[in-house]
Amino acid sequence: MRGIVKVVEKATGFFNNLLSMKQVDPECKVHPLPSTLPATLFSDTLMPMDHIVTVERLSKSYGAVKAVDDISFGIAEGSCFGLLGPNGAGKTTTIEIMEGITAPSGGRVLFRGQPLGADFKGKVGIQFQTTALPEFITVKETLELFSAFYNRPRPMEEVIRLCSLEDILTRDNQKLSGGQRQRMLLALAIIPKPELVFLDEPTTGLDPQARRNFWELIGRIKAERTTVLLTTHYMDEAQILCDRVAIMDKGKILEIDTPDALLAKHFEGVLIHLPYDGCCADSLAGFEGLVMSENSIELQTNTLDTSLKQLLAAHVNLEGLSIHKPNLEDLFIKLTGSSLRV
């Protein structure tokens, strides 16, 4: 009998090994870092002690396409970090490599200074951009199912309260609305009482009301000092939720800092926005800080009063004029030279 048990144990071990080879192990893919790195390379990310997760020279290619191109950054424990960019910028690829779901082509991810180990999945919570749930089971049953996967799951009542699921507990997964579904997926992500939560475009496709409700839930998780990594292409979302943001485009990080610092670095004063009908191009040529596109004019100024007088003097039609404080959206346009390709 004991012999049989041993054989079974061996066979199970063999299966597990066989299967675990399929799991992503970024360690296997490490490209050794050159011993003499330029000092500026990790100027932002030189692995301070409080970084819960660090990304080093990460890249991922799909054939000739470089989805992620040699990026590095770190996330401070207890903070909310935003990865911003339009569709196709490489946000999801980056986050999925960090989650250990996708193997990188180069570089590595460190969690608390160590490569992602076997216990990593028990310590993080993940909300994918698109996920289907098992059908014909209710929200509560799904929570029970996922709770069984973890050693010390968060008490069910706490999960329900944090994600405001009280009203939909007995509802079939298939019958959830967009906002309810995202709340449910967030609940699954926080069941393990994670040290780090990955949220990949959690509010894409939600109506403004549902988005705001969702921000409140993220606020509750942040209040627990859980580290949050959020990707989004909504700049207002990042501005409200994130302590630091990285702006990504075409696989590269263009800027990385706190939203305020980034705005202060790139903008002064306010932005004047005008619809452009093609007239007076010559008289506008002399304006400083003016960006013209096909059908709009944007003017950045410290002296609003003077600028408006100048525009009037130049006989520019002020119909449709708007003035606002620069936000991340403006920064993005400035950095990439294009509007968000949402």
**Could you list the residues that contact other proteins (CB under 8 A)?**
12, 15-16, 18-20, 22-23, 99, 101, 119, 121-122, 126, 128, 130-137, 141-142, 144-151, 188
Minimum CB distance to other proteins, residue 306 (Å): 55
Q: Which is nearer to other proteins, 16 or 303 (CB)?
A: 16
Judged by CB, which is closer to other proteins: 16, or 296?
Answer: 16
Min separation Cβ 283 and other proteins, Å: 56
CB of 132 to other proteins, least distance (A): 4
d(CA 47, CA 50): 8
**In the complex, what is the shortest distance from the CB of residue 189 to other proteins, in angstroms, rounded to a whole number?**
9
Rounded to 5 degrees, φ, ψ at 22 are -80, -25
- Of 90 and 125, nearer to other proteins (C-beta) is 125
Interior angle at CA 273, CA 267 and CA 278, nearest 5: 125
Query: Shortest approach of other proteins to residue 102 CB, angstroms?
Result: 9
| Cβ atoms 58, 94 nearer than 8 A | yes
Shortest Å, Cβ 178 to other proteins: 16
- Cβ closest to other proteins, residue 142 vs residue 301: 142
Strand 80-84 and strand 227-232: the pairing is parallel
Number of C-beta neighbours around residue 213 at 10 A: 16
Q: Are the C-beta atoms of residues 197 and 241 closer than 8 Å to each other?
A: no
Give me the residue label for tokens 């959020």: 230
Question: Closest CB to other proteins among 5 and 132?
Answer: 132
In terms of CB distance, is 62 or 149 closer to other proteins?
149
Please tell me the distance from the alpha carbon of residue 336 to that of residue 250, in angstroms, as a whole number.
10
Residue 221, CA distances (Å) to 100, 169, 217, 224, 266 in order: 22, 20, 7, 5, 31
Looking at the Cβ atoms of 165 and 188, the one nearer to other proteins is 188
CB of 215 to other proteins, least distance (A): 23
Which of 166, 165, 156 has the alpha carbon at shortest distance from 185?
Answer: 165
DSSP H helix total and E strand total for the chain: 12, 14
Residue 258: HSE in the Cβ half-sphere, 13 Å Cα cutoff: 6
